[in-house]
């Protein structure tokens, strides 16, 4: 799905060769500053390699329309963004930005359940804890129904039990719906348990193969 060939990004990343496969869960592990977020940003075309090429489904992403790529390859950043309004409005705003139809409440509820967010759709999204906002942002990105989910520490604000539940549920959703997931995690336990493949990043932005 993603093929990286001799990719460098400034002095931050230096990846000779990397193939990230379709339909599986790939976990990115590595110490702080090793370039995990930078790699996700490259895959989402938020930044471009200084050298080398990145192919998505055999197309060089520099030749793709970035908006079109980002409809297929969705990124959930480390800091969740919450819009003004209710949870329902947060969902519908995200759909609107993606030029998609509004969704019925039962569909929205399904995504709240997947991310284990036990709040009414009428709840004010600004009146939520950090962990709740993180789960809303996750549910919102799942609702957009991309092909690939780039998740940057999606459970960093959650306690251990909630983290396990949420990751397990997202993994099940991804497998049932044939989505590819590339997930940064600080937890080697999570990576071992849920990652079909694990990429370990080193200081200096190289990877172990
Ligand atoms: N916009 C930027 N401009 C210059 N350097 C940056 C920028 N963003 C990150 N860096 C540097 O690039 C390196 C990799 O950062 P990155 O955020 O990709 O690491 P990470 O592995 O995701 O870290 P963490 O686990 O702490 O989130 C770090 O040394 C960081 O200081």
pTM: 0.94
Angle between helices 130-143 and 105-114 (to 10 degrees): 120
* CATH H-level superfamily of 22-39+64-201: P-loop containing nucleotide triphosphate hydrolases (3.40.50.300)
Strands (E), the chain: 2-9, 13-20, 25-30, 51-56, 59-60, 73-76, 148-152, 180-184, 197-201
ipTM: 0.93
Contact partners, residue 33, CB within 8 Å, separation at least 6: 203
CA of 208 to the centre of ligand 1 (A): 19
pLDDT tens per residue across all 209 residues of the chain: 999 999 999 999 999 999 999 999 999 999 999 999 999 999 999 999 999 999 999 999 999 999 999 999 999 999 989 999 999 999 999 999 999 999 999 999 999 999 999 999 999 999 999 999 999 999 999 999 999 999 999 998 898 889 999 999 999 999 999 999 999 999 999 999 999 999 999 987 888 86
| pLDDT the model gives residue 209 | 62
| pLDDT the model gives residue 204 | 79
CA of 206 to the centre of ligand 1 (A): 13
Domain boundaries, the chain: 22-39+64-201
Cβ of 33 below 6 Å from ligand 1:
yes
Look at strands 25-30 and 197-201 and give their pairing. parallel
Sign of CA dihedral 113, 119, 121, 125: negative
CA of 149 to the centre of ligand 1 (A): 20
């Amino acid at each position: 799905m993603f093929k990286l060939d001799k990719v460098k990004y400034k002095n931050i990343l230096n990846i000779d060769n990397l193939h990230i496969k379709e339909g599986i869960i790939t976990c990115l592990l590595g110490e702080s500053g090793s370039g995990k977020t930078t790699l996700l940003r490259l895959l989402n075309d938020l930044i471009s390699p200084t050298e080398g090429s990145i192919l998505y489904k055999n197309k060089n992403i520099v030749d793709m329309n970035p908006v079109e790529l980002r409809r297929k390859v969705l990124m959930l950043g480390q800091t969740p963004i919450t819009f003004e309004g209710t949870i329902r409005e947060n969902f519908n705003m995200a759909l609107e930005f993606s030029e998609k139809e509004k969704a019925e409440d039962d569909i929205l509820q399904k995504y709240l359940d997947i991310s284990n967010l036990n709040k009414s759709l009428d709840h004010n999204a600004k009146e939520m804890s950090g962990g709740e906002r993180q789960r809303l942002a996750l549910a919102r990105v799942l609702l957009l129904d991309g092909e690939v989910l780039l998740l940057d520490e999606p459970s960093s604000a959650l306690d251990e039990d909630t983290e396990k539940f949420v990751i397990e549920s997202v993994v099940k959703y991804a497998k049932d719906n044939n989505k590819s997931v590339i997930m940064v995690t600080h937890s080697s336990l999570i990576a071992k348990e849920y990652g079909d493949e694990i990429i370990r990043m080193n200081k200096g932005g190289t990877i172990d193969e």
